[in-house]
Copies of this chain bind each other. A is one copy, B any other.
Amino acid sequence: MAQQKIRVTVWNENIHEREHEHIRKIYPEGMHGAIASFLKKQPDLEVRTATQEQPEHGLTEKVLAETDVLTWWGHAGHDGVADEIVNRVHARVLDGMGLIVLHSGHFSKIFRKLMGTNCGLQWREAGEKERLWVVDSSHPIAAGLGPYFELPHTEMYGEQFDIPKPDELVFISWFEGGDVFRSGCCWSRGRGKVFYFRPGHETYPIYHDQNVLQVITNAVRWAKFNGNTQTCGINTCPHTETPLEPIKK
């Protein structure tokens, strides 16, 4: 029996690409297009895209119900994402949809809502070198990589990254300008898995980098729900009147 494909929705605010010619040159199909194009080459993935300017930001009940893993890129449009859609995505994550938050998505409503913190960090745009070190070689998100990989020119994100302690920490970044960053972080929320991955600034061809695309692909496979659908308490608070064992009065 053939295994079912993982249904991925690659979401992007798609603002910088439309506004700036020099960004459009790097990402003629948008950053979502670059990511989706790589994912579509994987035989186990079924990929679609959605963008913020679409009705309901392209994230209708139907689309989310048919999405196993959602990837999220946002920056200039964070405030414009409707709370109703954020709540819808949030409920879907707790119900088991995987979520991969990319780069400036650290400040998105959905990521902050899932983390419970402000998700601040330090940043600098100086085109410096970044080197991402694997610090958990047992982790599937690190599969197929070397001990580290480099990005020649990136925006810098520096600590302290205001996040809850990651359940799993996969990458730590070294920056030429003297900073470090927890660049690959995993959490579970309800039945869903969440992965934050740092690289991805719009003015650099980050989403054409083979290591970056490999990590996103690994993360999609990792984030696909394969847990337990029967537990009570997730998304609800059920009254369970009859005890499983007799209670003495």
Contacts from A to B (Cβ < 8 Å):
94, 96, 107, 113-118, 120-124, 126-129, 131, 133-140, 142-147, 156, 158-162, 164-165, 167-169, 172-180, 182, 187-193, 225-241, 243-245, 247-249
A199 to chain B, nearest CB (A): 15
Number of copies: 4
Q: How far is the CA of A134 from the CA of B179 in the complex (A)?
A: 11
Q: Summarize A's interface: helix, strand, loop or mixed.
A: loop
Q: Across the interface, do A122 and B238 meet the contact criterion of CB distance under 8 Å?
A: yes
A125 to chain B, nearest CB (A): 9
Q: How far is the CA of A120 from the CA of B129 in the complex (A)?
A: 27
What 10 A-B pairs have minimum CB-CB distances, sorted nearest first? Answer: A177-B243, A178-B244, A142-B228, A178-B245, A160-B231, A138-B188, A116-B116, A137-B231, A137-B228, A160-B233
A242 to chain B, nearest CB (A): 8
| Residues on B with beta carbons closer than 8 Å to the beta carbon of A249 | 127
- For the A-B complex with A124-B241, A178-B243 known, give 5 more contacts whose Cβ atoms are closer than 8 Å: A114-B116, A122-B232, A138-B228, A161-B233, A167-B168
Q: How far is the CA of A160 from the CA of B244 in the complex (A)?
A: 15
Q: Across the interface, do B137 and A229 meet the contact criterion of CB distance under 8 Å?
A: yes
Q: Across the interface, do A228 and B162 meet the contact criterion of CB distance under 8 Å?
A: no
| Residues on B with beta carbons closer than 8 Å to the beta carbon of A133 | 158-160, 179-180
